[in-house]
Amino acid sequence: MADDALITLEEQKTGTLLRRRYRLVVCFGCEDFEQFLPCYNALSDALVQWYAKRDKRCGDVRVEAHIHPWIAGRVREYVRDLRKRPEHSPLRHLPLHIVFKTDDGVLEERLYEPVEA
């Protein structure tokens, strides 16, 4: 997938040949919440394009963010709440793995399982 100036996108193949799935790995960095908002919009747009491209072959989404610890809570809420937006309904059925990193190492890792319908 193409890279945006604000975020880096990488698509990884998982599963066997007949049960091929794709994992979208999204990486970005920001020091304050104002820097995060354009990254959030780019993430949202990239996910919509990825759903359209892969459809039922979407496997899971991994968000890796190099952020300041002070904004970790708000960033987590925004990324997690993408599932509540109508254009991101496919994300409700996919595992969402969020990894926050700082200069000192990994700050937080969370796995959100698919929401049962």
pLDDT in tens, 6-18: 899 999 999 888 8
**What is the domain count for the chain?**
1
User: Does 106 reside within a domain?
Assistant: yes
Residue 114 has pLDDT above 90, yes or no: no
Any domain includes 1: no
pTM of the model as a whole: 0.87
Residue 2 lies in a domain: no
C-alpha span between 109 and 48 (Å, rounded): 24
One-letter amino acid for residue 96 of the chain: L
- Strands 21-30 and 8-14 come out as antiparallel
- Interacting residues of 27 by C-beta distance below 8 A, sequence separation 6+: 7, 8, 10, 64, 65, 66
Give the per-residue pLDDT at 115: 76
Contact 3, 25 (CB under 8 A): no
Query: In sequence order, what E strands does the chain have?
Result: 8-14, 21-30, 58-67, 96-102, 105-112
